[in-house]
Amino acid sequence: MKKARYVMWAALAAFVGVLALTAAGCGGSSGGSSDGGGDTGALPTKIGPGEGALDLIAWEGYTEDQWVKPFEQQTGCQVNAKYAGSSDEMVTLMRQGGGGQYDMVSASGDASLRLIAGGDVQPVNVDLIPGYQDFFEPLKSPPHNTIDGKHYGVSLQWGPNTLLYDTEKVTPAPTSWSAIYDPKYKGEITVPNNPIQIADAALYLSTTQPDLGITDPYELNQDQFDAAVNLLKQQKPLIKKYWGLASDEIDLFKNGDVVLGASWPYQTNTLQADNVPVKDTIPSEGATGWADTWMLSAKAKHPNCAYEWMDWITRPVPQAQQAIFFGETPANTKACAEMDKIDKGSCAKYHGDADQAYFDSIKFWKTPLADCGNGQTDCKDYTAWQQAWTEITG
């Protein structure tokens, strides 16, 4: 009996230990204060010697060995990457501990303006980055990273959010976003757990309910916003799960739990490589999308390595490697030839040869602001979007 008591106490001790560890894990971060000061001092005119390290915040799949290892060998800058699951998380990480914990972030358009407004990032001298000259024209000075002629980072890759479906269970193949609002697929649909998803609903409503007058899915007045939120509330009973990480959505499709989902091309690539019968499509209503920028922290500790990174990651070969790995379109137009060298036909497949019309058909993520962009200032800002999203998914 004594032995049994002993075992019980050991279990209790282990349990307390686990609790302590959990608490330690949760208590790591406290709110940071970021005082402005993005554009102090002149831009550098040459890249100095590297500092030996580079701390990055990136999307999953953006810092793969195939293009990070050669960079480390050439520059001696050791890359430490932290994956973030959403734009909100990227902004928070950039600000935590007063900023300066990370040198760079691969921010999408809905995070980049917030970072610029918060003084969390600094302008860069694009003359030091040779790849810039070969950028796809709309990405040289796009509104999501260039303000008053100042470039807050360099464009990286872009692409559309797609409709992913199981080719065996969804017939005929869907051509409209209406599929993810269709009760026919109740309990077999997944969408990202991200407030920016409201824009997808708004985009769908802009064609199905033209009376609402939605012209930009990120600039919504009260009526338009309410309609989009209502649509998402009606959609909720149809949702199996709101996915957080790309790998979650991959699991859901692989195990047959869902047959339809809002997705990125990365998931399609991974699932198809695993012989799961899926395909993706850009529905007739068009699609939302992302255009990512490597941005430089206002308090970067390794600015020279950061410039080396911007130089490297915008060259044709790493651009092509990343484009094929993730399934997105490179900013550097010279990457197209490299893509076909690695995998014949991949340039056309991932729109490496895209024209302005294709680019314009995608509604790129941007931060919703009260300013509607048409003189009105009654649009719902991002705080309202976040609150509404909590209500929808709560």
Smallest distance from other proteins to CB 118, Å: 5
The DSSP code sequence of 207-254 is HH-GGG--S-TTS--HHHHHHHHHHHHHHGGGEEEEE-SHHHHHHHHH
Smallest distance from other proteins to CB 257, Å: 5
Smallest distance from other proteins to CB 230, Å: 15
122 binds other proteins (CB under 8 A): no
Say how many C-beta atoms besides its own lie within 10 A of residue 130's C-beta: 12
Smallest distance from other proteins to CB 282, Å: 25
Say how many C-beta atoms besides its own lie within 10 A of residue 163's C-beta: 25
Provide the token pair at 343: 């995998």
Smallest distance from other proteins to CB 113, Å: 11
Return the residues of window 152-211 that contact other proteins according to CB under 8 A. 187
302 binds other proteins (CB under 8 A): no
Return the residues of window 227-246 that contact other proteins according to CB under 8 A. 236-237, 239-242, 244
Residue 195 vs 286, nearer CB to other proteins: 195
SS3 365: coil
Residue 208 vs 393, nearer CB to other proteins: 393
Return the residues of window 34-93 that contact other proteins according to CB under 8 A. 34, 85-86, 88-89, 91-92
Provide the token pair at 16: 């307390």
Provide the token pair at 199: 């824009």
Provide the token pair at 322: 């990343």
SS3 163: strand
Smallest distance from other proteins to CB 218, Å: 16
Pick from 43, 53, 117, 282 the residue near other proteins by CB under 8 A.
117
* Tokens 């260039």 found at: 146
Smallest distance from other proteins to CB 154, Å: 24
Residue 57 vs 154, nearer CB to other proteins: 57
* Tokens 């030839």 found at: 337
Residue 61 vs 85, nearer CB to other proteins: 85
Which stretch of DSSP H or E encloses residue 288?
Answer: strand 287-297
Preceding omega of 172 cis (within 30 degrees of 0) = yes
Burial of residue 370, with CB atoms counted within 10 A of its CB: 0-12 exposed, 13-18 middle, 19 or more buried: middle
Distance CA(203)–CA(215), nearest Å, equals 8
Pick from 2, 5, 46, 184 the residue near other proteins by CB under 8 A.
5
Distance CA(205)–CA(46), nearest Å, equals 49
Residue 252 vs 347, nearer CB to other proteins: 252
Return the residues of window 352-391 that contact other proteins according to CB under 8 A. 381, 383, 386, 390-391
Strands 146-147 and 189-192: what pairing?
unpaired
Total number of residues that touch other proteins (CB under 8 A)? 52
Pick from 70, 76, 78, 96 the residue near other proteins by CB under 8 A.
96
Residue 124 vs 239, nearer CB to other proteins: 239
Residue 94 vs 214, nearer CB to other proteins: 94
Distance of CA 68 to the CA centre of its chain: 19
Residue 15 vs 358, nearer CB to other proteins: 15
Maximum CA extent, the chain:
80
Residue 24 vs 273, nearer CB to other proteins: 24
Question: By the 8 A CB rule, do 221 and 380 touch?
Answer: yes
Return the residues of window 14-33 that contact other proteins according to CB under 8 A. 14-15, 18, 22-23, 26-27, 29-33
Residues that bind other proteins (CB under 8 A): 1, 4-5, 7-8, 11-12, 14-15, 18, 22-23, 26-27, 29-34, 85-86, 88-89, 91-92, 95-96, 114, 117-119, 187, 236-237, 239-242, 244, 251-252, 255-257, 381, 383, 386, 390-391, 393-394
